[in-house]
Amino acid sequence: WWDHVLLAPKDPITSVTEAFLSDQSPFKLNLGVGAYRDDKGKPVILECVRRAAEKISCCEILESTKATTKSKFVQDCVKLAYGNHSNVVGEGRFAGVPALSGTGACRLFAEFQKRFYPDSQMFLPMPTWSNHHDIWRDSQVCTRTYRYYDPNSKGLQFQALMNDIKNAPGRSFFLLHPCAHNPTGVDPNYEQWKEISHIFKIKNHFPFFDMAYQGIASGDLERDATAIRIFLEDGHLLGCAQSFSKSMGLYGHRVGCVSIVSRDEKQATAIKSQLQQIVRAMYSSSPVHGPLLVSTILNDADLKALWEEEVKFMVDRLIRMRITLRRTLEELNSSASWEHITKQVGMFYFSGLSPEEVHQLQRDFHIYMTIDGRIRVRRNGCKIGSLREYLPHLVSKQ
Ligand code: PMP
């Protein structure tokens, strides 16, 4: 029956951990994992999540009617993304369903796009999270790319980005990272977002925001939603994927939401019914425990404040680690500029190392990262294993 099934190509991100685990060197170092870790390299359970879990009784989980929990959760998510006082929320002009985290949210949207715009394409930034390509491919939607990152300046290629948006056929779908772009850590600033929104209006493009890192760019949840708020203010209809993997550390619980802003409430009802139908045939419905945890935090003023504090703590720590890495490299008397390390935001440092250099690091120094040179910022990285040995080598190459 299955003789024709060949080994699937390795996933570029999960395969890094596999290679790391099979390395026997005591000096090995994994900079590939896309998850926040504490000083000991362990996953972090946020205190707000711990308290929310204590607050939710077992009966509540068992008794909660799925429909109520779900619609409450979606309402909470859209308020977080679109703003507490957003017209969209007030007028019920959105359709949303809980999703299996950010990945599931993207996948649901891709399926929805295929169903209602079967010949459309999705424009993805160059580069982007590798799974975006796979998600839209598996949903049978063709993908194209638009220019985003400039390897020379290690910043945004704004003019090229604007040209690609201008030159795309009108009414195209675009995926945008609203904050902490993965893998580059490079985001447009406020004025640039305004210009992007303006050109989207002219071209009548549809923006789909994949927000996997709300709070993780600036440490401020509201500020990280600026891009979405600008587009809403400009009257766009848009889609949004949300994830609580990073911002609440709920990686394994797979908690997320996909929502679509509609023209009116009637359209929202129709869109929601279609999203629900896609979910129904895929996995019927999502689990309730994760959404209950999130809603408990978002609706309790103390827990919400604690969450905001904890997010800020994580981001301040990431910034401190970036400063240390930059200083360490500068102290090696490099003439190259390392400013981009502290200019980039979020959990990753996009190093600009070539695939050959990444391979060499793995082979000769037991240091693991994704093939695009993305490094997860981690504490003591410079002191551990052979990275210390490697840094002078890196400096001399720049
Ligand atoms: N979108 C982007 C841009 C991401 O970086 C990630 C996580 N790496 C996701 C979506 C999905 O993550 P999750 O499914 O854990 O929410």
Check residue 193 and give left, alpha or beta (phi > 0: left; psi -120 to 50: alpha).
alpha
Closest CA to 89 of 228, 325, 261: 261
What pTM was estimated for this model as a whole?
0.94
Nearest CA to ligand 1 atom 10: 102
Confidence class for position 382, pLDDT limits 50, 70, 90:
low
Q: How far apart are CA 258 and CA 51, in angstroms?
A: 26
- Average of pLDDT values for 326-348? 89
Atom of ligand 1 nearest to the CA of 243: 16
Within-domain flag for 1: no
Confidence class for position 11, pLDDT limits 50, 70, 90:
confident
Supply the DSSP symbol for 11: P
Q: How far apart are CA 299 and CA 387, in angstroms?
A: 44
CA 243 / ligand 1 centre spacing (Å): 7
Question: What does pLDDT average to over the chain?
Answer: 92
- Average of pLDDT values for 132-142? 98
107 CB neighbour count, 10 Å cutoff: 22
What is the torsional sign of CA 228, 233, 239, 244?
positive
pLDDT value of position 35: 86
30/176 same-domain check = no
pLDDT value of position 133: 97
Within-domain flag for 2: no
Confidence class for position 386, pLDDT limits 50, 70, 90:
low
Within-domain flag for 8: no
Ligand 1 pocket test target in 107, 186, 187, 245 with most atoms within 8 Å of CB: 245
Within-domain flag for 384: yes
245/336 same-domain check = no
Helix, strand, coil % in the chain, rounded to nearest 5: 50, 15, 35
Whether residue 385 is predicted with pLDDT greater than 60 in this model: the reply is: no
19/129 same-domain check = no
Within-domain flag for 245: yes
Atom of ligand 1 nearest to the CA of 181: 3
What is 267-328 written as a DSSP string? HHHHHHHHHHHHHHHHHSS--SHHHHHHHHHHT-HHHHHHHHHHHHHHHHHHHHHHHHHHHH
Which of 240, 271, 303 is at the close of a domain? 303
34/66 same-domain check = no
| Cβ 182 under 6 angstroms from ligand 1 | yes
97/28 same-domain check = no
259 contact partners, CB below 8 Å, separation of at least 6:
74, 77, 78, 81, 94, 95, 96, 239, 240, 242
Whether residue 391 is predicted with pLDDT greater than 90 in this model: the reply is: no
Catalytic residues: 129, 210, 246
226/367 same-domain check = no
- Average of pLDDT values for 347-351? 92
Locate all alpha helices (DSSP H) within 11-129, ordered by sequence: 14-21, 47-55, 58-63, 66-82, 87-90, 101-116
Confidence class for position 39, pLDDT limits 50, 70, 90:
confident
Which of 273, 303, 333 is at the close of a domain? 303
For the chain, what is the domain count?
A: 2
Whether residue 32 is predicted with pLDDT greater than 90 in this model: the reply is: no
Within-domain flag for 205: yes
Atom of ligand 1 nearest to the CA of 104: 14
| Cβ 245 under 6 angstroms from ligand 1 | yes
Whether residue 46 is predicted with pLDDT greater than 80 in this model: the reply is: yes
Question: What CATH number should be reported for the domain holding residue 88?
Answer: 3.40.640.10
118-121: long-range pairs with CB below 8 Å, 24+: 120/172, 120/173, 121/172, 121/173
CA atoms within 13 A on the CB side of 361: 30
CA 103 / ligand 1 centre spacing (Å): 6
Q: Following CA atoms 6, 10, 11, 13 in sequence, which dihedral angle do they give, to the nearest 10 degrees?
A: 170
- Check residues 335 and 149 and name the one with the higher pLDDT: 149
pLDDT tens per residue across span 244-299: 999 999 999 999 999 999 999 999 999 999 999 999 999 999 999 999 999 999 99
CA 216 / ligand 1 centre spacing (Å): 13
Question: What CATH number should be reported for the domain holding residue 362?
Answer: 3.90.1150.10
CA 102 / ligand 1 centre spacing (Å): 5
Whether residue 102 is predicted with pLDDT greater than 60 in this model: the reply is: yes
265/346 same-domain check = no
282/341 same-domain check = no
Ligand 1 pocket test target in 126, 130, 243 with most atoms within 8 Å of CB: 243
| Cβ 34 under 6 angstroms from ligand 1 | yes
CA atoms within 13 A on the CB side of 29: 23
| Cβ 256 under 6 angstroms from ligand 1 | yes
CA 180-194-344 angle, 5° bins: 25
pLDDT tens per residue across span 210-219: 999 999 999 9
The mean-pLDDT minimum among 27-41, 187-201, 317-331, 341-355 falls in 27-41
Q: How far apart are CA 98 and CA 278, in angstroms?
A: 12
Q: How far apart are CA 257 and CA 99, in angstroms?
A: 5
Amino acid residing at 112: F
230/337 same-domain check = no
Which of 276, 303, 330 is at the close of a domain? 303
Q: How far apart are CA 28 and CA 387, in angstroms?
A: 9
Q: Give the position of tokens 């009414």.
A: 171
73/160 same-domain check = yes
Nearest CA to ligand 1 atom 15: 245
| Cβ 102 under 6 angstroms from ligand 1 | yes
CA 379 / ligand 1 centre spacing (Å): 22
> Is the distance from CB of 122 to CB of 144 less than 8 angstroms?
yes
pLDDT value of position 59: 66
Q: How far apart are CA 99 and CA 279, in angstroms?
A: 9
For the chain, the C-alpha Rg in angstroms (whole number) is 21
19/72 same-domain check = no
78/135 same-domain check = yes
Within-domain flag for 337: yes
Domain with 324 in it: 14-42+315-397
111-118: long-range pairs with CB below 8 Å, 24+: 111/139, 111/278, 111/282, 112/260, 112/271, 112/274, 112/275, 112/278, 113/139, 113/141, 113/173, 114/139, 114/140, 114/141, 115/274, 115/278, 116/274, 117/173
E strand or H helix at 200: helix 190-203
Amino acid residing at 70: K
pLDDT value of position 12: 82
Within-domain flag for 6: no
75 contact partners, CB below 8 Å, separation of at least 6:
89
Nearest CA to ligand 1 atom 6: 212
